[in-house]
Amino acid sequence: MSMRNRTILLIVVILIAVGGTMAYNKVLKNNNVAVEKAMVTVPKNATFDQLLDSLRAHQVLVNENTFKWTCKLRRFQTPRMGHYEFHEGMSNMDITTMLRMGQHYGVKFTFNNLRTKEQLVEKVDHRFFFAPEELAALLNDNEFLTNYGFDTATCIAAFIPDSYEFFYDITAEEFFEKIMSYYHKFWNDERQKQAAEIGLNPTEVAVLASIVEEENYKASEKALIAGVYMNRLNKGMLLQADPTVKYAAGDPTLKRILLEHTRIDSPYNTYLYPGLPPAPIRIPEASTMDSVLHYTHHNYLYMCAKDDLSGYHNFAATLAEHNRNAAAYHRALNRLK
């Protein structure tokens, strides 16, 4: 081959290579989203064909063939579940990278001051990939909860208010598993030993803490109030805790407990049923459970809100003293009608 022909061949090869590179870049790096913005949900265990169906349904792609070619080139066949936002300007490279990586990013989840599992379910709404109904189903599934030592009533004891870090794309089951890992971290050997020493198990500590918290959220009184109830439990007395009556009545806002309230037939009514209620009446804070574990040892058996309506309590060792405190408090309520 002459020098001239070799030169021509080299030029042709270079042009083909340049053209191929330009085509390659066009396929991978140019915009391939036909809409300004589109949200597409990829369910768990979705196939590549199901992904294509969803992209077609939302008219996302400018050119489906170049997208499929890119997927083959990048050996991408299994999208991660998640809610994906496609917007104008995204290339096939951007799209496949997003779908491959998924939405596996951290989410800070904080909860406190919650009473019910329904409120907890509302709290997780739109924070994670799983639907709140999926978590609600687990918290109402005794068969599932039994594996963790809970039932549909006691399961709120598994949730200890704090700030936690989760991944966005976890399932409801993985979310509960993570909650349980935090639960076991709190209920370490030392706390379990402390609970056993006062004759309670972790769930019972949560139950008593929930009553203490409903009685008074003020940190300075929590251990004192816990001591009152521990004294009554140890003496075999009815707890006669007003918050449990409010719970039985289905009205935590009750300001005055009347005789008719104390007669409500409910296992949560500690005016009628001895011992602790069957489950927590709210989701107690870690600090309140520690107040129960380290309750103040005293001889008080009674407590009543102070007549100055400060939110603090008068404590009494005798019924006569308690009746005087109660009468003063009722007079204060009557003044306020």
Instruction: Tell me, yes or no, whether 256 and 271 share the same domain.
Output: yes
Q: Is 310 exposed, middle or buried (0-12, 13-18, 19+ CB in 10 A)?
A: exposed
Flag whether 44 is in a domain: yes
- Stretch 63-86: mean pLDDT, rounded? 88
Give domain status of residue 160, yes or no: yes
Q: Which domain holds residue 137?
A: 106-186
Task: State if pTM tops 0.75.
Answer: yes
Instruction: Assess whether 282 and 202 both reside in one domain.
Output: yes
* Judgement on whether residues 91 and 111 belong to the same structural domain of the protein: no
- The reply to whether 204 and 293 lie within a common domain is yes
**For residue 282, is it within any domain?**
yes
Residue 314 lies in a domain: no
Computed over every residue of the chain, the mean pLDDT equals: 89
Q: Are residues 131 and 56 in the same domain?
A: no
Q: Are 309 and 225 in contact (CB under 8 A)?
A: no
* End-to-end alpha carbon distance in the chain: 113
Residue 189 CB: number of other CB atoms within 10 A? Answer: 7
User: What backbone torsions phi and psi does residue 204 show, to the nearest 5 degrees?
Assistant: -65, -35
Residue 166: its H or E element? strand 162-167
Judgement on whether residues 215 and 287 belong to the same structural domain of the protein: yes
pLDDT at residue number 285? 96
Please give the Cα distance from 285 to 192 (Å, whole number).
17
pLDDT of residue 217: 75
CA gyration radius, the chain: 31
pLDDT in tens, 196-211: 999 999 999 999 999 9
Same domain, 97 and 111: no
Residue-wise pLDDT tens digits, 168-182:
888 899 999 999 999
Shared domain check, 252 and 218: yes
Q: Tell whether the model's pLDDT for residue 45 goes beyond 90.
A: no
174 in a structural domain = yes
CA distance 117 to 153: 9
Confidence of residue 25 (pLDDT cuts 50, 70, 90): low
pLDDT band at 4 (very low <50, low <70, confident <90, very high): low
Does 210 share its domain with 149?
no
Instruction: State whether 93 and 123 are in the same domain.
Output: no
Which one of 152, 186, 220 terminates a domain?
A: 186
Per-residue pLDDT band at 134 (split at 50, 70, 90): very high
Banded model confidence at residue 14, pLDDT cuts 50, 70, 90:
very low
In this structure, the answer to whether residues 210 and 277 fall within a common structural domain is yes
- Residue appearing with tokens 């709190």: 186
Q: Is 1 within a domain?
A: no
Q: How many domains, the chain?
A: 3
Q: Is the pLDDT of residue 104 over 80?
A: no
pLDDT band at residue 246 under the 50/70/90 scheme: very high
Asked if 159 and 204 sit in the same domain, the reply is no
Please tell me which of 41-55, 59-73, 233-247, 323-337 the model is most confident about, judged by mean pLDDT.
233-247
* Element of type H or E holding 312: none
Residue 209 lies in a domain: yes
DSSP state of 270: T
What is the pLDDT averaged over residues 220-235? 96
Domain assignment present for residue 83? The answer is yes
% of the chain residues with pLDDT over 70: 91
Report the pLDDT value the prediction gives residue 12, as an integer from 0 to 100: 40
Name the nearest CA neighbour of 314 among 297, 328, 295, 334: 328
Percentage of the chain lying above the pLDDT 90 cut: 65
Point out the least confidently predicted range of 9-18, 103-112, 154-163, 284-293.
9-18
